[in-house]
Amino acid sequence: MSVAPPLLAVEGLTKSYGGIHAVRGVSFSLRSGEILALIGPNGAGKSTCFDMLNGQNTPDSGHVRLLGEETTGKKPRDIWRMGVGRTFQITATFATMTVRENVQVALISHGKQLFNLWGSAPDVDRAEAGRLLELVGMGGYADRPCGELAYGDLKRLELAVALANDPKLLLMDEPTAGMAPRERVELMRLTAQIAKEKSIGVLFTEHDMDVVFEHADRIIVLNRGTLIAEGSPAEVRGNPQVQAIYLGEGLLYEAGHREGASA
């Protein structure tokens, strides 16, 4: 009897552009319910790595498996159908539709109703959409045009949309970018809470070290395309290699830490 495969298993992921290795031999795994942060300085290959997980980019070599099933080479929409929700660094929503309709679209897609030309969409999964919005604290905004939302609310809406297909895995690219510190904490707390409740694995990239160290169960660190450290927040914080990389940013980190602590 074999051991059940991990939720996400990444093996030897490699991608190069014109002879320059953007990502080289990156391997890691992620369990259900675990919150894993992917960090590294600018140009470390985080985005390339992330895009290869969500299907927007194809690796030169290596594998990405979700519960043992290969996802490399699949399109984003097919990976989504395998149970992977995602949010974007710059939010992508349906700007001319209401908040509820945004969620309903995802639910319609999940329910394979996309080519239903006859039903009444406003009534499709209305309750479920409301429930998801309540979950992320957007219940009161359901009828607002999405284009009118504040940025933090858009991020929360994206989270609700990402949860619509009952995902096993959430991929969040800089989930708190562009948000006020207080909102960041709230959003990540919410995410962590949902992840634990529903036993969803979360992989996120992040610049804000407060967010990372406070919410991640585990952290992996990329530098120049290779994985240089992996472990619990404490282990990674103590890693001399990581400290060397972040030396230049250390001051910022300290400052941010203090600010966050006082908040």
Partner 1 sequence: MAFYVVQFLTGLASAASLFLVASGLSIIFGVTRIVNFAHGAFYMIGAYIAFTLTERFSGAFGFWGGVVAAALAVALIGVLVEMVLLRRIYHAPELFQLLGTFGLTLMVEDLVVLIWGPDDLVGRRAPGFKGAVDFFGQNIPSYDLFLIVLGPVVLGILWLLFQRTRWGVLVRAATQDRDMVAALGVNQKWLFTSVFAVGVFLAALGGALQIPRDAVHHAMDLRIIVEVFVVVVIGGLGSIVGAFVAAVLVSELNAFGILIFPKISIILVFLVMAVVLIVRPWGLFGKPEAAARKTPGLTVNPWRPLTSNERLASLAALVIAAMLPLFAGNYALTVGSEIAIFVIFAVSLHFLMSVGGLASFGHAAYFGLGAYGVAFLAKMAGLPMIVCLLLGPLLGCMGAAVFGFFAVQLSGVYFAMLTLAFAQIVWSIAFQWVSVTGGDNGILGVWPASWAASPSHFYWLALGVAALVTIALRIAVFSPFGYALRATRDSVLRSEAVGINAKRIQWTAFVIAGTTAGIGGALFAYLKGSVFPDNLGISLSVDALVMVLLGGVETVSGGVVGAIVYKALNIWLVSQTDLSKLVLGGFIVLIVVVFPKGIVGMLEILAQRRRKSSPPGSSLLAKPIESAE
Output Rg (C-alpha) for the chain, integer angstroms: 19
> What's the length of the chain?
263
Name which of 137, 111, 138, 139 is nearest 124 in CA terms: 111
CB of 226 to partner 1, least distance (A): 28
Q: Which is nearer to partner 1, 135 or 164 (CB)?
A: 164
User: In the chain, what is the greatest distance between 2 CA atoms, to the nearest angstrom?
Assistant: 61
DSSP 3-state percent helix, strand, coil across the chain (nearest 5): 40, 25, 35
Residue 204's contacts (CB-CB under 8 Å, 6 or more residues apart) are 35, 36, 37, 38, 170, 171, 172, 173, 174, 175, 216
CB of 3 to partner 1, least distance (A): 30
Name which of 86, 230, 99 is nearest 157 in CA terms: 99
Q: Which is nearer to partner 1, 88 or 246 (CB)?
A: 88
Q: Which is nearer to partner 1, 21 or 81 (CB)?
A: 81
CB of 95 to partner 1, least distance (A): 5
Q: Which is nearer to partner 1, 17 or 115 (CB)?
A: 115
Q: Which is nearer to partner 1, 42 or 120 (CB)?
A: 120
CB of 243 to partner 1, least distance (A): 36
CB of 165 to partner 1, least distance (A): 7
Structure tokens at 182: 């207080």
Chain residues in the site for partner 1 (CB under 8 A): 54, 75-78, 80-81, 86, 88, 92-98, 101, 104-106, 108-110, 113-122, 124, 143, 145, 147-148, 161, 164-165
